[in-house]
Amino acid sequence: MFEISLAEWSFHKALFSNKMSNLDFPVVAKKQYGIGVVEYVNQFFKDKAEDSKYLAELLLRCRDNGVKNHLIMIDGEGELGPHRGRAP
């Protein structure tokens, strides 16, 4: 059996317009779509990356709804690898 995951970017319009928050995402994924694995996008909670209280709340919402965190897509962090074929 395969599990599918839901990318947070699927809700980018709702997130950018504040109709939905990053904390709502795992609950919506499970309750509205029956999907129990989620993929986040860092720009929707970049300012909370080191906020342990916020991250604990996010994890609690996931656990309470039977949702697994799969990955975080990273935007705007610059080059992550060597520059092949280009001078630095």
Count CA within 13 A, CB hemisphere, residue 66: 6
Domain coordinates in residue numbering, the chain? 6-73
The per-residue pLDDT for range 3-38, each reduced to its tens digit, is: 899 999 999 999 999 999 999 999 999 999 999 999
Question: pTM for this structure?
Answer: 0.82
N residues, the chain: 88
- The sign of the dihedral angle between the CA atoms of 17, 41, 66, 54 is negative
